[in-house]
Amino acid sequence: MRSLDGSVELEGNLISYDGAFYRLDTVYGALTVAADGVSCAGPGCPDLTTFVAEARIAGAATVAEGLLPELLAAFAESQGMALGVEDGPVYVLRRADGSPAARFAVTPGSTDDGFLALLNGEADIALTLREPSVGEVAASEAASPDDPPLDDRVRVLALDALVPVVSSENPIDALSLPDLARLFSGEVTNWADLGGPDAPIALHALAPGFGLSQAFATRVLLPSEAGLSAEMTRHESAEALAQAVARDAYAVGITARSGTGLAQALPLIGECGFPLSASVDAVKAEDYPLTAPVYMYLAPRRLPLLVRQFLAFTETEVAERQVSDAGFVNQLLTRTPLALQGERLSNAIRAAGEDVDLQELQTVMEVLDSAERLSTTLRFNAGGADLDIQSRASVGRLAAAIERGTFDGRQLIFAGFSDGDGPSTVNARLSLRRADVVRDAVMAAGVAALDRVELVTVGFGEAMPMACDDTDWGRAVNRRVEVWVD
């Protein structure tokens, strides 16, 4: 390798070329050299004009088949290229002259398959509908102890949710998480026990290796200490499950919001009567308790330039529109005035009592009355002050919006809320502390335009519950930091 002015020379064996950088094994160790700053001489030099970027993607079939092709097609168009499909499937991006610029080899399967391929070095990107298990994290650390951990190699591609579904002929109009646990553990076998008709219940679920199935077992069955019933029909796709449930008036399934088809998705309800539907806004804000982000976990190595550009493209507005068109929930920021949030205001009034009086509700109204709630809502990992993966992604998107000038001259209010456990005065202080943590995370995101927006934190404690406080999931939903713009 020789610098363009001829003043520097490097010699060694070429390890790789990614379309922008050479990786060279030299007497000084492995070095990365920008291709546009050097000339390459020798039999190992790649042909820069015919270089083809390669990427291997494995994991959740609902994403690999239902979303990824649309994203690749939109990305190809943004690059002035055409997208073709070869057996495999392999999605080929072709230049205007017909030559291939990139190949994305896709292996649809389960979330388990995606993690396994990533850990074995057989995939560059794993598409998953859950976070890695303790065993998968340990395997990753054991195989590559010097590489960044999995949590530092993840992006949120889209949002989905777990929803209970029934036939439109079924009179049941809502279910609680305890109801779901009793149903899918086999404790309840007749609809009459849930206020429905005297008829046996037919259970439907996705195959065991699917991330949504594992998320359901972890988040619904394990907290209730219930095991999964053996008397159920398993399906290899959300679409097949929805079709089976829609045909049977006495069936119930748990599936992806993006694949409900003709089946009817039911809201979740708590003992206190708060209903929560998997609406777009509720999923974006993680107000719905069974939100299921779609993750991309990346291999611990530098991916080819065109692949990195595709990953960057997935965060653009064009890509977010493709996410919505495919039936998933995108992460674009939306705004909702307080006046259009009747359900949560009703919940707040119903929950008011000894710990939350009229004056506290009036304070909330005074602060937020003229403001709009952003879809960005921040939550923390259980038992700590660390933001969860979806919230970390949301901080980045919010910081980017501030940088673009979206909120110039406006006030961003970080409003902290808590559950109802403990004294109300303590909860108010705790909610303010969480709001401060989120504000500090935004400030630490490297935004240069912070002087054009005012950042304010407030703590409202338990004044505006989103769900009942009588369950772990209800309390988790209520512990949050909302972002309002005024």
Distance CA 390, CA 283 (A): 11
Domains 53-157+293-325 and 160-284 share a fold: yes
The two tokens of residue 249 are 């008036």
Max intra-chain CA distance, the chain: 86
The DSSP call for residue 364 is H
Percentage of the chain surpassing pLDDT 70? 93
Q: Is the dihedral of CA 88, 93, 95, 101 positive or negative?
A: negative
The two tokens of residue 164 are 């209970």
Under 8 Å between Cβ of 473 and 289 = yes
Under 8 Å between Cβ of 31 and 24 = yes
CATH superfamily of 53-157+293-325: Periplasmic binding protein-like II (3.40.190.10)
Pick the more confident residue, 104 or 288.
Answer: 104
Give bridge partners of residue 155 from the DSSP assignment.
Answer: 296
Distance CA 155, CA 394 (A): 11
Under 8 Å between Cβ of 223 and 128 = no
For 104-123, what is each residue's pLDDT tens digit? 999 999 999 999 999 999 99
Q: Give the pLDDT band of residue 462 (cuts 50, 70, 90).
A: confident
For 317-367, what is each residue's pLDDT tens digit? 999 999 999 999 999 988 888 766 666 666 666 555 566 666 777 788 888
Q: Has residue 95 got a pLDDT over 90?
A: yes
Under 8 Å between Cβ of 479 and 419 = yes
34 burial via Cβ count (<10 Å: 0-12, 13-18, 19+):
exposed
Pick the more confident residue, 94 or 390.
Answer: 94
The two tokens of residue 123 are 């995939």
Give bridge partners of residue 268 from the DSSP assignment.
Answer: 175, 276
Residue 357, pLDDT score: 62
Spell out the domain ranges in the chain.
2-39, 53-157+293-325, 160-284, 333-485
CATH number of the 160-284 domain:
3.40.190.10
84, 185, 228 from 222: Cα distances, Å: 44, 10, 9
For 172-229, what is each residue's pLDDT tens digit? 999 988 899 999 999 999 999 999 999 999 999 998 888 888 888 888 887 666 678 8
Pick the more confident residue, 427 or 349.
Answer: 427
Residue 426, pLDDT score: 86
CATH architecture of 333-485: 2-Layer Sandwich (3.30)
Under 8 Å between Cβ of 434 and 141 = no
CA 481 to chain centre: 17
Report phi then psi at 321, rounded to 5.
Answer: -65, -35
**Residues written for the chain:** 486
The DSSP call for residue 259 is G
User: Full-prediction pTM beyond 0.85?
Assistant: no
Instruction: Please count the CA atoms within 13 angstroms of the CA of 137 that sit on its side-chain side.
Output: 10
Percentage of the chain surpassing pLDDT 90? 50
Distance CA 372, CA 270 (A): 27
Give bridge partners of residue 11 from the DSSP assignment.
Answer: none
